[in-house]
Amino acid sequence: MNRLHHWLCSSGHWRRTLEQRLPVILSGAKLGNDVLEIGPGPGLTTEFLRTRVTRLTTIEADPALAASLRRQMRGANVDVITGDAAAMPFPDAAFSGCATFTMLHHVPSPQMQDTVLREIGRVLRPGGELVGTDTLPSTLMRLIHLGDTFAPVDPDTLPRRLREAGLEVIRVQRQAGYFRFHARRPERTTV
């Protein structure tokens, strides 16, 4: 994450935006009490989620961001792991729910994004739900990401990609400047 992007994702403006968006994104979701957050960055979404679940685990690829979040969350119900969401160090069916907010576009290619989605399907318990959001491409988003990874996710292809990752699609919905999605790991797999 470049400096401008880090500053924006830590700003009061982004905090207020999240306070408006996250209740909408989470509406109707049943994440359970043992939730995984992927790519928390500076942790504004972590602060929001941790008050709504019993146990929250985050996985962050950037060691500096993970270390900072670990210090911030010391003594809270949050376990911060430094790691790669494409090869998570968790056992199968470890979590009741998963959340990822404005993170998938930081994964450098659709193929790697699909690997992350498959990993989410693997670590969710049967019936476990995934909620998330990501940014729609725009000139402003491209400028914010100069010198940074920006691989926008096409919300029109996301339902197919979620199904290919073994998840049932509940909703993919465009909003102004972003889209939200909600899926679940099936209770049972059919052979």
pLDDT, tens digit, 9 for 90 and up, residues 20-67:
888 888 889 999 999 999 999 989 899 999 999 999 999 999 999 999
The side-by-side arrangement of strands in the sheet containing 78-82 is: 78-82, 55-60, 34-38, 95-101, 124-135, 178-184, 168-174
Res. 6: pLDDT tops 70: no
What's the pTM value of the predicted model, to 2 decimals? 0.89
List the domain range (segments joined by +) for residue 123: 3-8+33-41+83-184
Could you tell me if residue 17 is inside a domain?
Answer: no
Res. 106: pLDDT tops 80: yes
Torsion angle of alpha carbons 90, 119, 38, 35, nearest 10°?
-60
Q: Which amino acid is at 9?
A: C
Q: How many structural domains is the chain composed of? A: 1
* Two structure tokens written together for 171: 């909703």
Res. 191: pLDDT tops 50: no
Portion of the chain with pLDDT greater than 70, in percent: 89
CATH number of the domain bearing residue 151 = 3.40.50.150
